[in-house]
Structure 1
Amino acid sequence: MPSKRKSLMFASASFFSICSFVIICLVLATKKWVSSTISFTSETANTTMLLTYGLFEGQWSATVVHGIAIPETSFQVEDLMNNSTVKSFSIVIIILLVLSLLSSFLSAGFTCYNAVSNPYQTFLGPVGAYTWNSISGICIFLTLILFAVNVEANELSVQLALKTSSPPSRPYRLSNSYGYSYWIMLLIVLLNAATIIIIVFYQKARYSKRKEQERPMESAPKDGILF
């Protein structure tokens, strides 16, 4: 049976991993990733569109010159993606989130298992927890970067806007604001880091205790050891 210190520390690490798993599910389910305000101008009309969307679903509304408003309408993000580059980015982002979700689940399982037992295989111990949390954190970090690149460099919001209501063509003005579904992923990275830090502290405490137990034998007189 594990010591009380180990059970407590790995139980805390397991709690953080479960929280990470839940937040990733929330990120995948919500559509508050980014809100974009796009102003299209032409010789005949000026249109301001507001889009709020996530990985799968979104909503848009528009206001035409003289205050004529188009009510909020839902749309499927994938249905409006014709650009292969934009679609490839979105697929990679979803794959990374799924990998992070799986890694968080495995991390929760590994840490929970270590809280109630002392596994003999090395990978089932702290090494496995380090591995899964590192994979999860790296996947989330890449997701943050790739989504921002897809929105800013690939102009995802403009492409979606042009497919929703056929507003006047360019020139346009674009303003992006990232929502809680995007920024909450930073919390996932922090939870992964906290899990690793807890296990590192446990490993250091265990190493120090082992050294203290070996010290009396090292400092004992040689004559006493002989007898």
Structure 2
Amino acid sequence: MPSTKKIMYFLSSAILQVAAVGILGYGMSTDWVQSKMACGPLGNEIFNGSATIKMGLFNGSEKKEGCPRFDTNNVVPVFAKLEQIGGAAVALQGLVVGLLSLSLLGSAGSILITLYNTVSNPYETYMGPIGLFACSGMSAISAFLALVLYLINVLVVRIGMEIAELKNDSNLKDEEVQLLVGFYLLLPYIAADILTTVLVYLYSHEAYTQRREQEKPPRMLQKTS
């Protein structure tokens, strides 16, 4: 049976990972970016309207005001639109979703390992700290790569502008990009993965130090003359 100290360390790590999964799950379901542009009729240099694209990983919305003449609100199926654009846009979006799915898988592994360690002592096996380090590390790295790739898709490929231009019914310029809550939730998710690793490392280091102390031979008493 694990010690009380071990149970506290690993149970705290499990709670952190459950919270991290909730954070990432909510983040993947909400909006990630808003792209706003000045808008005007085709063949005219007067930009007196605006177009706003708000996107999550899978769905979004498009709102046009005076662009080109009437106000409109449309649902945007993100992957369907990006497939029309093709090239790097849809590939990067697919990679982002794939990496975040890998992060969730890693978090599930971390939860399983931490809970198992609260009732057992598989210390030197893959179900011990080594397995936890691997799962949490994979989750954090995958989430960080997803963050970087999404920034590239938004700021370099400019998927907001690309989606707004698909209809080809107006001129667009001066795109302003604002990252939203879904994107920023990756940061506390990564932090939770790192903190989970730190907690288990601290326990492992302390347990290792105690074992080394116990394995030391007793000191020989010096004979006094």
Same fold (TM over 0.5): yes
1:204 aligns to what?
205
- 1:109 aligns to what? 112
User: Is 1:97 paired with 2:106?
Assistant: no
What is the aligned-residue RMSD (CA, Å)? 2.0
Which residue number in structure 2 is paired with residue 127 of structure 1?
130
Paired residues of 2:123 and 2:129 also in contact (CA < 8 A): no
Letter in 1 for 2:36: T
The runs of 5 or more residues in structure 2 that have no matched partner are: none
Distance in 2 between residues matched to 1:62 and 1:117, nearest whole Å: 59
- 1:211 CA displacement: 2.9
Q: Distance in 2 between matches of 1:65 and 1:111?
A: 54
| Contact 1:45/1:64 (<8 A) preserved | no
Worse overlay, 46-55 or 138-147: 46-55
Residue 51 of structure 1 and its aligned partner are, at CA, apart by: 1.2
Distance in 1 separating the partners of 2:169 and 2:156: 21
1:169 matched to 2:171? The reply is yes
**Would the alpha carbon gap of residues 6 and 120 (structure 1) be closer, same or farther in structure 2, given more than 3 Å must change?**
closer
Unaligned runs of 5+ in 1: none
Partner Cα separation in structure 1 for residue 149 and residue 51 of structure 2:
24
Residue type of the alignment partner of 1:142: L
Matched, 1:34 2:36: no
Q: 1:37 deviation in Å?
A: 0.6
Partner SS for 1:48: strand
User: Which of 138, 141, 155 is the aligned partner of 1:138?
Assistant: 141
Deviations 1:149-204 (A, max 9, x none): 001110100111112x534235x111000001000100011000000000111011
Aligned-residue identity in percent = 24
Which residue in the other structure is 1:189 paired with? 190
Mark the CA change 1:96 to 1:65 in structure 2 (over 3 Å): closer, same or farther.
Answer: closer
Deviations 1:79-108 (A, max 9, x none): 212222101111111110110011101110
Which one-letter code corresponds to 1:178 in the other structure? Answer: L
Normalising by structure 1, report the TM-score: 0.89
Q: Secondary structure at the match of 1:119?
A: coil
Q: Which has the higher helix share?
A: 1
Assess if the C-alpha contact under 8 Å between 1:161 and 1:167 holds in 2: no
Moved more, 102-111 or 206-215: 206-215
Give 1:126 deviation, angstroms: 0.2
Distance 1:101 1:69, change over 3 A: same
Cα distance in 1 between the residues matched to 2:160 and 2:117: 46
Matched with 1:7 is 7
8 Å contact from structure 1 (residues 106, 132) kept in 2: yes
